[in-house]
Amino acid sequence: MAGKGEARGWYGHDSKEIAEQLEWVMLQLARLLRGKRKLVKSDIQRPDPHRRIVIGIGNILNSDDGVGVYALRTLQEMLPPDVETLEGSVYCADLLPYIENKSKVIFLDGVDAGDEPGAIYRFDGKEVEKAYSIPVSLHEFGVSELIAVAELLGQCPEEIVLFCVQVRKIETGMELSKEVKEAIPKLCELVLSELGIEKL
């Protein structure tokens, strides 16, 4: 695990590589903005209240970092057809087309906030940005950056909720730690409640 003063990220990317990735994202954003015509009133579509999506973020090859994906897989058996699901990568810029103008987006992620492993946090709206304003995210381009880009493009979902699970370990391997694995049923209950769905 990288220390605060080290120049390498969670996945071994050095600061130069990270800077190059962010520069590429900003270039793509600039191209999109240049080609985006000015919206008129008739262009704006109100989000369909049934257009909801749950996105699990993480890398299942890095133990507890995959908790968001594992939780999503458990949830898929409980959700009705009108709620979309998506397994996201650690590079959240790829998720932009999937959150465009959704009425509600729920993200599931792992974080390291120094709390007890398996602890669950909930953030919504501007709290999502606040949650990632401290160095707890396990990803270089995460949910906060994704939301910022969506806002710039006028594609931000109407409602955003983030559920995070405190990780115990981040190392090569597909096994979740005991504490994080035991947190998944509770996390699923919270997501179902957030969507107004009764557990079967």
pLDDT in tens, 2-40: 433 433 343 444 556 656 666 666 665 555 554 443 433
Question: Are the CB atoms for 156 and 147 separated by under 8 Å?
Answer: yes
- State phi, psi for 53 to the nearest 5 degrees: -145, 140
Q: Which residue has the higher pLDDT, 153 or 105?
A: 105
CATH of residue 141: 3.40.50.1450
Cα 114 from chain centroid (whole Å): 19
Q: Is residue 89 part of a domain?
A: yes
Kindly state whether residue 37 falls inside one of the protein's structural domains.
no
Q: Which residue type sits at 103? A: S
Query: Quick check: helix, strand or coil at residue 166?
Result: strand
Query: Please, is 171 exposed, middle or buried when counting C-beta atoms within 10 Å of its C-beta (0-12, 13-18, 19+)?
Result: exposed
Q: Are 105 and 159 in contact (CB under 8 A)?
A: yes
The lowest-confidence range among 14-18, 72-76, 188-192 is 14-18
In a domain? residue 1: no
pLDDT in tens, 137-164: 545 556 777 877 788 888 888 899 999 9
Query: Which one has a higher pLDDT value, 126 or 152?
Result: 152
Is 30 part of a structural domain of the chain? no
Please give the tally of structural domains in the chain. Answer: 1
Q: Is residue 4 part of a domain?
A: no
The per-residue pLDDT for 153 is 81
pTM exceeds 0.75, yes or no: no
Whether 46 is covered by a domain: the verdict is no
Report the percentage of the chain scoring pLDDT > 70. Answer: 66
Q: How sure is the predictor about 126, in pLDDT bands with cuts at 50, 70 and 90?
A: confident
Domain hosting 86: range is: 51-194
**Residue 139 placed within a domain:** yes
DSSP summary character for residue 161? E
